[in-house]
Amino acid sequence: MTASTAPAATTAVPPYARRARRRGAALGLLAWFIGIVFVLPVLWMVLTSFHAESDAATNPPSVAAPLTLDGYREFFGADGGASPWPPLLNSLGASVFSTLFVLVLALPAAYALSIRRVRKWTDVMFFFLSTKMLPVVAGLLPVFLFAKDTHFLDNIWLLVILYTSMNLPIAVWMMQSFLADIPVSVIEAAQMDGARLPTVLVRVIAPIAGPGIAATSLICFIFSWNEMLFAQVLTGVVAQTAPAFLTGFVTSQGLFLAQVCAASVVISLPVLAAGFAAQDKLVQGLSLGAVK
């Protein structure tokens, strides 16, 4: 227990404890300071998004300028610009469907790697992981050519497939670690009652591993939503996703700082929400389950 809690500075506090307490308080302040420095650009983005364009692009910055929703109104096409809704919905579709596919594929796989293990299951785990380590850009051209030949370009389902493969290894690793925590006796009891694998997965395992599965889904959702290289190369007008829209938005509209900030806020909101919701399991997902 270090300082800053309970100011129990009664009588006989030894001097070294007081010094330690003072240092603890100083380090706490330092942490606060760095935290604010880190979050400041985000806050600045949010603040600017609520400023009028003329107040947004000033030097020195107009911190106390009046607030307005104009940036958001213009982002959503009040001035007749391209509507952001189709890309936002495309992103939502690609992220949600790929996350669903990931769950459908990863849950049984994780079962076979944790509860009823295949032989050499660790080798299989590391094969999954190794696919995540290869740079996607190196496989992009064949995917592009394949999509072009099969008229699959600018199709949201192509992104769904690619995002599924991108997130599957992470999901398998995370879920494996969650399922491995389930006591075998619970599952055996269900099987004794004649339940088959799908029933066991849905009725027995899913409820226990529920929070873990939810965190896995959120992380897969974030990665799909953020993805830009595939979206940039493989989509055009119809299937464009939000990140690709965001880059095109700037080049085609010139620079409207408040509007760009509003766009960035809107497009980041789902990720911020999902990320804070999955905060506890974030490390585990990002380290592919290696850190609990």
Tokens of 149: 């030949």
Q: Which is nearer to other proteins, 186 or 197 (CB)?
A: 197
161, 170 Cβ separation under 8 angstroms = no
User: Closest separation between CB of residue 111 and other proteins, Å?
Assistant: 5
241, 93 Cβ separation under 8 angstroms = no
Q: Identify any residues that bridge with 51 across adjacent strands, giving them in sequence order.
A: 67
52 binds other proteins (CB under 8 A): no
105 binds other proteins (CB under 8 A): yes
240 binds other proteins (CB under 8 A): no
Bond into 198 cis (ω within 30): no
Nearest to 252 by CA among 238, 237, 265, 267: 237
Near other proteins in 200-229, by CB under 8 A: 222, 225-226, 228-229
89 binds other proteins (CB under 8 A): no
Q: Which is nearer to other proteins, 189 or 269 (CB)?
A: 269
Crossing angle for the helix pair 156-179 and 85-114, to the nearest 10 degrees: 40
User: Closest separation between CB of residue 77 and other proteins, Å?
Assistant: 19
243 binds other proteins (CB under 8 A): yes
268 binds other proteins (CB under 8 A): yes
User: Closest separation between CB of residue 40 and other proteins, Å?
Assistant: 8
Q: Candidates 80-88, 92-100, 187-195, 254-262 — which segment interacts with other proteins by CB under 8 A?
A: 254-262
147 binds other proteins (CB under 8 A): no
227, 156 Cβ separation under 8 angstroms = no
112 binds other proteins (CB under 8 A): yes
User: Closest separation between CB of residue 104 and other proteins, Å?
Assistant: 8
Q: Residue 25, Cβ neighbours under 10 Å: how many? A: 13
The alpha carbon dihedral of 21, 26, 30, 32 has a sign of positive
User: What does residue 67 show for φ and ψ, rounded to 5 degrees?
Assistant: -90, 150
Round to whole Å and give the CA distance between 2 and 282: 27
Tell me which of 123, 150, 203, 252 binds other proteins, using CB under 8 A.
123
Tell me which of 15, 66, 80, 119 binds other proteins, using CB under 8 A.
119
Q: Taking phi first (over 0 means left), then psi (-120 to 50 degrees means alpha), and beta for anything else, what does residue 60 get?
A: beta
Q: Candidates 8-16, 167-175, 186-194, 204-212 — which segment interacts with other proteins by CB under 8 A?
A: 167-175
195 binds other proteins (CB under 8 A): no
188 binds other proteins (CB under 8 A): no
- C-alpha angle with apex 45: 40 to 49, nearest 5 degrees? 145
Q: Candidates 64-72, 78-86, 140-148, 207-215 — which segment interacts with other proteins by CB under 8 A?
A: 140-148
Tokens of 117: 């293990």
Tell me which of 81, 86, 93, 275 binds other proteins, using CB under 8 A.
275
Q: Which is nearer to other proteins, 38 or 80 (CB)?
A: 38
134, 197 Cβ separation under 8 angstroms = no
Nearest to 198 by CA among 125, 102, 114, 104: 104
Please return the burial class of 252, using the count of CB atoms within 10 Å of its CB with bins 0-12, 13-18 and 19+.
Answer: exposed
Q: What x/- string results for residues 12 through 41 when contact with other proteins is judged by CB under 8 A?
A: ------------xx-xx-xxx-xxx-xx-x
130 binds other proteins (CB under 8 A): yes
